[in-house]
Amino acid sequence: MDPVILSTVQDALDRLKDKEVYIHLETTNGAYASHNDESFFSSGAYIRNAKVTYERGKITGEGPYRVGLKIPFGWVYAEGITHFEIDQKGRLLLAGHDFNGKLAVALEISETPFD
């Protein structure tokens, strides 16, 4: 994966809008805060192959970035994005890594279901 290039990610988001796509969204508590206390309550979210059609996709910020997908009844957000890749299948893969290099958030968008 490469560090985010705003224009490239925005172009990919625009290419996929108004299409039926599958999203994978995964977070850990590292996406919001780093905690040195191992006993601190940890949290995360995971959704895979959710079929959505978004009318607007936007990447914002100065890094780490926020990506939002406007769906008919609200928004899907991923915050803390630092890296991206457009793979050989045309899927947009976005990731955010914490200060230790661990994955904190992933948002992936594909026209076909993920394995």
pLDDT digits (tens, 9 = 90+) for 2-42: 999 999 999 999 999 999 999 999 998 654 455 455 555 66
pLDDT of residue 83: 97
- CA-wise closest residue to 95 among 80, 109, 75: 80
* pLDDT tens, position by position, 52-79: 999 999 999 999 999 999 999 999 999 9
13: in domain: yes
* pLDDT tens, position by position, 89-107: 999 999 999 888 888 999 9
63 backbone φψ class: left, alpha, beta (φ>0; ψ -120 to 50): left
pLDDT of residue 40: 57
Instruction: Report the domain count for the chain.
Output: 1
Starting at the edge strand found earlier in the chain, the sheet holding 44-53 runs 2-3, 83-86, 92-97, 103-110, 20-28, 44-53
pLDDT of residue 19: 97
Sheet strands (E) in the chain: 2-3, 20-28, 44-53, 56-60, 65-71, 74-81, 83-86, 92-97, 103-110
pLDDT of residue 99: 84
- CA-wise closest residue to 106 among 55, 44, 36: 44
9: in domain: yes
pLDDT of residue 30: 53
Distance CA 21, CA 50 (A): 8
115: in domain: no
CATH classification of the domain holding 22: 2.70.180.10
103: in domain: yes
8: in domain: yes
Specify the 3-state DSSP secondary structure of 96. strand
Instruction: Show the domain range for 34.
Output: 2-110
